[in-house]
């Protein structure tokens, strides 16, 4: 997903590399002197000064955003050394500007400004993911650490006992498809050999970014990240735990059933039925989603009676027709059709003559109407849902285009992914029948298999989505010290996921570093939020549409009332606290994870029945 304001939501490596450039232009003052200077300056500034600053920055954001988005689009679609260089140059300009904007915005911390100005100033400050200390030597050190961590992860590989060198992609594929216990263990161990050298670098990085966060007025980086959610930082942490408490009963029953089935597959000596599940047996390198082991745990007679991939072929759907079909979903809700430029400028299929980045993404290049998607579409049922998801981003981007540039973003960082997934939840058998792709809707006895497949991905992910930042917040606050990095990581994984390391871990291991978002410095709570929000949005839209089916069977296709309510929320962008946007659609300012329980209710009943007599818990 690309849009102008998101140009300033930097990745860690890009940020810290260019932060050093900015730091070198400043006098070598210590942070106390910098703070004192900021306070002196604040006494002379007014709300009028803030508006002049914000207006000037807005124009610069627009200019940098358009040029940066175009450079990145060209690189993604024509991968050469030259296009990579152009994209890097554009990213550097944007990143340098973002660091400058954040530091200047912080000078207004003690100035009396309007509520809108304060919101815009905070957005500029919080766009820094890994803030550097206001000291050129330390910012240069942070830049070097970020580059080294990124390189360690990016170049990571494992050489097998027979001398074969495997990339992360190779190992991930094996983890998804192999059912050999020892082979899975070798892949799991092999990938984690890349991360121990990261540990001292990561510890030093934590010290430096905490100092940077202090300079922006936050007690540590974790508090700074949590302050990005329109509520006190500590309240946000409590809110996530509250939501997890709502989902946990469903997760516990899913965990119990899956552990039992894995015990049948591998033996209860390898999968004890009263302990956490060994992390290498869940079909994913990080055990964060379990969909790849569906064939091990699938219910009997779960075949829904149709194969969507085959049905797309029977009805002569090519790649363009698949996108046109997804667009029709949105126009059926009352949204305007996509602009003609979307069809001319998007990438729908993998070119035969050049390298491109095939990862599906939705783009907004000018914050007006230059919307695009970039996909190497495969004619499969899964991709049909993905297209609906990506267009969800595009229609969100267009909905908030009239907002000031600062507010051209989702209400919080979970919303954008949640909206895309909300739309994908309406790709139900009922919808498929309505558009003529299948002839009959399977009876409800077939729902268990469909719900199980979805739960293995969505419900299984939720505790992982929570614990990654739980661990980092404790690192940044000092509660977790470097000597306890790995022990604390596995304590959290056992507590929340009921998943354990399959072998004893060396005290110097650094298993968090084997997950990209940790060395990459990418906040993770957004993914947890998206998994909660999408089900509540879906439930609310189904209620608005007058749906009488169970919500897992509901599709809002062709319902103008649901479309109007959705668009009202989307148009707000990030102009108001996310709670206000939430209330527009759901009627509540507080998230409510019971929508997930409603959605998976038939599966939960089935799981409880299958778990009778079993020793659940971990």
Q: Is 207 a catalytic residue?
A: no
Q: Is 280 a catalytic residue?
A: no
Of the listed 280, 388, 393, 416, which one is catalytic? 393
CB atoms within 10 A of CB 609: 10
Helical packing angle, 485-496 and 198-215, nearest 10°: 80
Tokens in use for 262?
């894995």
Q: Is 581 a catalytic residue?
A: no
**Dist. CA 335–CA 569, nearest whole Å:** 13
Handedness of CA 147, 152, 153, 157 (dihedral sign): positive
Of the listed 300, 352, 359, 382, which one is catalytic? 359
Q: Is 536 a catalytic residue?
A: no
Parallel/antiparallel/unpaired status of strands 165-167 and 157-159: antiparallel
Of the listed 327, 417, 494, 536, which one is catalytic? 417
Of the listed 255, 388, 389, 552, which one is catalytic? 389
Of the listed 517, 543, 571, 601, which one is catalytic? 517
List Cα–Cα distances, 209 to 48, 140, 218, in angstroms.
32, 12, 11
* Cβ(300)–Cβ(524) below 8 Å: no
List CB contacts of 364: < 8 A, sequence separation 6 or more.
1, 2, 3, 4, 69, 370, 371, 394, 397, 398, 401
Q: How many alpha carbons fall within 13 Å on the CB side of residue 285?
A: 19
Q: Is 393 a catalytic residue?
A: yes
Give the DSSP H or E segment for 159. Answer: strand 157-159
Length of the chain measured in residues: 618
**Dist. CA 12–CA 143, nearest whole Å:** 9
Helical packing angle, 47-77 and 81-106, nearest 10°: 160
Of the listed 96, 383, 390, 536, which one is catalytic? 390
Q: Is 266 exposed, middle or buried (0-12, 13-18, 19+ CB in 10 A)?
A: middle
Q: Is 416 a catalytic residue?
A: no
Of the listed 319, 360, 491, 543, which one is catalytic? 360
Tokens in use for 37?
């200077």
Q: Is 60 a catalytic residue?
A: no
Q: Is 538 a catalytic residue?
A: no
* Cβ(516)–Cβ(580) below 8 Å: no
> How far, in whole angstroms, is CA 346 from its chain's centroid?
23
Give the DSSP H or E segment for 531. Answer: helix 525-544
Give the DSSP H or E segment for 120. Answer: helix 115-126
Of the listed 306, 317, 485, 527, which one is catalytic? 527
Give the residue carrying structure tokens 């030597």.
137
- Residues designated as active site: 359-360, 389-390, 393, 417, 517, 527
């Amino acid at each position: 997903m690309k849009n102008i304001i998101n140009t300033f939501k930097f990745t860690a490596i890009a940020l810290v590399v260019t932060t050093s450039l900015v730091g070198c232009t400043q006098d070598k003052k210590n942070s106390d002197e910098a703070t004192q200077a900021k306070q002196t300056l604040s006494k002379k500034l007014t709300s009028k000064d803030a508006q002049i600053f914000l207006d000037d920055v807005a124009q610069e954001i627009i200019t940098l955003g358009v040029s940066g988005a175009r450079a990145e689009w060209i690189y993604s679609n024509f991968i050469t050394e030259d296009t990579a260089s152009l994209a890097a140059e554009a990213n550097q300009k944007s990143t340098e500007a973002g660091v400058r904007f954040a530091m200047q915005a912080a000078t207004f911390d003690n100035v009396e400004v309007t509520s809108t100005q304060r919101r815009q100033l905070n957005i500029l400050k919080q766009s820094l993911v890994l803030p550097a200390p206001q000291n050129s030597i330390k910012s240069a050190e942070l830049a070097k650490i970020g580059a080294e961590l990124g390189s360690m992860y990016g170049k990571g590989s494992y050489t097998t006992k027979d001398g074969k060198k495997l990339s992360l992609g190779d190992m991930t594929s094996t983890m998804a498809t192999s059912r050999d216990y020892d082979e899975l263990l070798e892949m799991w161990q092999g990938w984690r050999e890349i991360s121990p050298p990261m540990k001292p670098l990561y510890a030093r990085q934590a010290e430096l970014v905490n100092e940077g966060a202090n300079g922006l007025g936050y007690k540590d980086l974790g508090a700074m990240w949590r302050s990005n959610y329109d509520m006190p930082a500590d309240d946000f942490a409590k809110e996530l735990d509250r939501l997890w408490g709502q989902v946990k009963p469903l997760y516990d029953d899913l965990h119990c059933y899956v552990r039992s089935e894995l015990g049948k597959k591998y033996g209860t000596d390898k999968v004890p039925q009263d302990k956490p599940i060994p992390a290498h047996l869940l079909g994913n390198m990080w055990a964060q989603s379990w969909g790849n082991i569906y064939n091990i745990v699938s219910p009997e007679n779960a075949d829904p009676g149709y194969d969507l991939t085959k049905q797309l072929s029977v009805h002569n759907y090519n790649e363009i027709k698949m996108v046109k079909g997804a667009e029709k979903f949105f126009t059926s809700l009352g949204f305007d059709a996509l602009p003609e430029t979307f069809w001319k400028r998007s990438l729908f299929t993998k070119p035969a003559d050049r390298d491109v980045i095939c990862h599906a993404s939705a783009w907004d290049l000018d914050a007006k109407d230059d919307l695009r998607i970039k996909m190497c579409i495969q004619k499969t049922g899964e991709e049909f849902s993905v297209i609906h998801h990506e267009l969800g981003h595009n229609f969100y981007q267009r909905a908030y285009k009239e907002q000031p540039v600062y507010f051209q973003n989702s209400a919080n960082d979970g919303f954008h992914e949640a909206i895309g997934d909300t739309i994908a939840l309406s790709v139900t058998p009922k919808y498929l029948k309505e558009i003529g792709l299948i002839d009959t809707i399977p009876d409800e006895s077939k729902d268990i298999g469909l719900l199980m497949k979805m739960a293995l991905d969505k419900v299984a992910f939720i505790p992982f989505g929570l614990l990654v930042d739980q661990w980092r917040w404790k690192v940044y606050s000092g509660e977790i010290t470097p000597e306890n990095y790995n022990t604390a990581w596995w304590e959290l994984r056992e507590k929340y996921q009921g998943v354990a390391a399959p072998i004893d871990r060396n005290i110097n291991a650094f298993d968090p570093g084997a997950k990209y978002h940790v060395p990459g410095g990418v906040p993770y709570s957004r993914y947890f939020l998206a998994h909660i929000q999408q089900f509540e949005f879906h439930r609310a839209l189904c209620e608005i549409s007058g749906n009488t089916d169970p919500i897992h069977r509901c599709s809002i296709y062709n319902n103008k009332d649901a479309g109007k309510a959705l668009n009202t929320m989307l148009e707000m962008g990030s102009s108001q606290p996310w709670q206000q946007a939430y209330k527009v659609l759901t009627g509540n300012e507080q998230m409510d994870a019971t929508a997930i329980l409603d959605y998976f209710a038939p599966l939960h009943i089935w799981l409880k029945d299958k778990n009778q007599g079993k020793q659940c818990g971990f």
